[in-house]
Amino acid sequence: MASDLLFIRHMKNTEPELQKDPEQWKTGDEPMTPAQRSYLETLAQDVGESFDEDDLTKAEASKRIEELKSQSPRLKGEDG
């Protein structure tokens, strides 16, 4: 039983990333959402940057979020 759970956990951690590239989103060229803006402001604070990019698209905001997440001391090492 325990070995089955370990196998399932291992398989979950090795599944390929199925998320579409933000550039391929149908709504990627729309303005970023308020939630994206809020998250970007929080992440920018985490890494000691200011955030004043009001004209990002949803796709651009998503990419910037991923960049800042990889730099955030709170989120280093976390997936997705």
Residue 74 confidence (pLDDT): 79
pTM recorded for the entire structure: 0.65
Residue 65 confidence (pLDDT): 93
Residue 22 confidence (pLDDT): 74
Identify which of 25-29, 42-46, 50-54 has the greatest average pLDDT.
42-46
DSSP 33: P
Residues 6+ apart with CB under 8 A from 1: none
Query: How many whole angstroms separate alpha carbon 73 and alpha carbon 16?
Result: 25
Q: Is the pLDDT of residue 19 over 70?
A: no
Q: Is the pLDDT of residue 23 over 50?
A: yes
